[in-house]
Amino acid sequence: MTLATTNAPSPLGRLARAIPVLGQVIRDIERDTNSIYYLLVILLTALVLAIQTWGLPALVLTALALVPVMFVLLVLIARP
């Protein structure tokens, strides 16, 4: 018999899991890592529907929201 140990989530992780929709998504991804692909398809579909509904402002706001993400990725890639 093996003893399975799990790391206790940090306070930020507990806070994220306490948010109703986000917490359910986090727990689902922890159980099955392939479910992240379904989440990406849902987000892409929501983006397409937002662009069809509101046009260019939805696309511009999405790009603006992704600027910090890309900045962090570029810093991670450029690290020696």
Q: Per-residue pLDDT tens for 6-48?
A: 677 788 888 888 888 888 888 888 888 888 898 899 999 999 9
* CA 66 – CA 44 distance, rounded (Å): 14
For 37-75, the pLDDT digits (tens) are 988 999 999 999 999 999 999 999 999 999 999 999 999
**Closest C-alpha to 58, from 47, 66, 67, 68:** 47
| Distance from the first to the final alpha carbon of the chain | 44
Sign of the dihedral through C-alpha 51, 52, 56, 58: negative
